[in-house]
């Protein structure tokens, strides 16, 4: 019988996803392991592979559809000898519509016509969907967001080809029409009529506000916003800052890089960030009670220092993990970090690359930021924010001197790590940074 292809759960936190692209079309033969679609999750865009052999009988969810729930049917696979006629008998994955149908049967058997009376009410609701081109008066089916963007861009939404269910126009269709130059300008007076027909929505402008372009949120950006808001709202943060002299670390880095082969598989180029990851991991091992997180059942104390490193990507921020960083060499950390950062920027990270981690590190020193306070990445209890190294006046043995100083700020979840323990962790980090040879032992 036909096989339902379901929206997969591609990460532990995923509840819904967007169908970005279909790589197979209806009628195409597929084998187990073939990549059939690209799904945008709350973390990255990932490829979906077929688990059975057959041919694509029907694509249920078109490309560009957003907010598809995990385990919803997105396509139907036909096995050998089956045809499209067999799809009608395929049970749906979501039992809710069936339940509603079952509930409706007893109502249909009631002889009184009252149960049918409320049904015309939804027919009046589509009034907001009736903005039609000024010529033929045909109804245009489009999402409210697509209509709003079309209105802002001053284009006639009726000129846009829809790719959503039953030809419905979605946001991606409007954006594609604008980018491709295929959209027609809105007819005179049409903008006001369409605005009047749209459902009431919060105003995006006010007196004196300049013109702007509304950029719809991506799934990744929504997830970042939700998690950071939850962190600041529910996690009691406190912050500790320490200044570290890094002249010896910079000299060691220069000597190490000078010894690297010019090219080949063994060539390397250590960054200051690689030293920060290693120092932070060793500090967590030296102060194991700080390598922990809060849970309602108890404090989780981790056996390894798995460092989540913040990486900026076009759609926001991801945190790939250097696992067991305390036991890896600086060159291993450097190579692994470069590989993970490259895949992060190409949206090619796998769930195991960013799921977990015992602590986080964020470095804005390369942007010249002197110091900053980062937001904890739940359920972790600490995140270390690294600032830029700069020459400052310091006092050594009663004499004024110049040293390269870097500020590091530790954000701590007070539920899992107390102030004294956080200070002990930061002191261990400072010792390693100022005596970097200890990282090579």
Looking at the annotation, which residues are catalytic? 414
Cβ contacts of 48 within 8 Å, gap of 6 or more = 8, 10, 35, 36, 37, 38, 39
Secondary structure letter of residue 431 according to DSSP = H
The alpha-carbon radius of gyration of the chain (Å, integer) is: 28
Residue 209 half-sphere exposure toward CB, CA atoms < 13 A: 8
Q: What is the dihedral of CA 95, 61, 170, 136, to 10 degrees?
A: -90
Q: In 3D, which of 243, 216, 230, 225 has the Cα closest to residue 429?
A: 243
Q: How far apart are the first and last CA of the chain?
A: 62
| Residue 16: burial class (beta carbons within 10 Å; 0-12, 13-18, 19+) | middle
CA 111 – CA 50 distance, rounded (Å): 49
Q: Residue 364's Cα: distance from chain center in Å?
A: 20
Q: Is 89 helix (H, G, I), strand (E, B) or coil?
A: helix
Q: For the residues of 325-343, what is the DSSP string, one character each?
A: GGGS-HHHHHHHHHHHHHH
CA 176 – CA 156 distance, rounded (Å): 14
What does the block give as tokens for 57?
């009988």
CA 228 – CA 235 distance, rounded (Å): 10
CA 165 – CA 62 distance, rounded (Å): 7
Q: Are 62 and 75 a contacting pair, CB within 8 Å?
A: no
Backbone angles phi, psi at 292, to 5 degrees: -150, 175
β-pairing verdict for 382-396 and 359-363: parallel
């Amino acid at each position: 019988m036909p096989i339902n292809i379901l929206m997969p759960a591609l990460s532990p936190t995923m509840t819904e996803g967007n169908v970005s692209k279909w790589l197979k079309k209806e009628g195409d033969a597929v084998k187990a392991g073939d990549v059939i679609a690209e799904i945008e999750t709350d973390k990255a865009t990932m490829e979906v592979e077929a688990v059975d052999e057959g041919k694509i009988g029907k694509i249920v969810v078109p490309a560009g559809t957003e907010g598809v729930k995990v385990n919803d049917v997105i396509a139907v696979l036909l096995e050998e000898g089956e045809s499209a006629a067999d799809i009608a008998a395929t049970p749906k994955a979501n039992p809710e519509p069936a339940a509603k149908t079952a509930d409706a049967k007893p109502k249909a058997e009631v002889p009184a016509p009252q149960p049918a009376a409320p049904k015309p009410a939804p027919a009046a609701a589509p009034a907001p969907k009736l903005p039609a081109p000024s010529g033929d008066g045909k109804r245009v089916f489009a999402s409210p967001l697509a209509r709003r963007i079309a209105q802002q861009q001053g284009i006639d939404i009726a000129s846009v080809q829809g790719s959503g269910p039953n030809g419905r126009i979605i946001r991606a269709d409007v954006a594609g029409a604008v980018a491709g130059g295929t959209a027609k300008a809105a007819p005179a007076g049409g903008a006001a009529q369409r605005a009047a027909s749209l459902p009431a929505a919060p105003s995006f402008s006010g007196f004196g506000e300049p013109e702007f372009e509304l950029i719809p949120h991506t799934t990744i950006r929504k997830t970042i916003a939700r998690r950071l808001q939850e962190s600041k709202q529910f996690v009691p943060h406190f912050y500790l800052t320490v200044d570290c002299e890094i002249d010896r670390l910079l000299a060691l880095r220069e000597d190490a890089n000078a010894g690297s082969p010019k090219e080949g598989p063994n060539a390397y180029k250590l960054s200051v960030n690689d030293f920060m990851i290693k120092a932070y991991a060793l500090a967590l091992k030296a102060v194991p009670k700080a390598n922990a997180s809060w849970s309602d059942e108890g404090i989780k104390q981790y056996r390894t220092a798995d460092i989540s490193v913040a990486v900026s990507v076009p759609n926001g921020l991801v945190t790939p993990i250097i696992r067991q960083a305390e036991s890896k060499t600086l060159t291993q950390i450097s190579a692994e970090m470069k590989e993970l950062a490259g895949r992060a920027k190409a949206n090619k990270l796998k769930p195991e690359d960013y799921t977990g981690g015992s602590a986080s590190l964020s470095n804005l020193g390369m942007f010249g930021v002197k110091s900053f306070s980062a937001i904890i990445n739940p359920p972790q209890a600490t995140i270390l924010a690294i600032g830029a190294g700069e020459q400052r006046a310091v006092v050594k043995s009663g004499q004024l001197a110049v040293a390269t100083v870097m500020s590091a700020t530790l954000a701590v979840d007070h539920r899992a790590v107390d102030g004294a323990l956080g200070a002990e962790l930061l002191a261990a980090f400072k010792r390693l940074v100022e005596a970097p040879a200890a990282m090579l032992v």
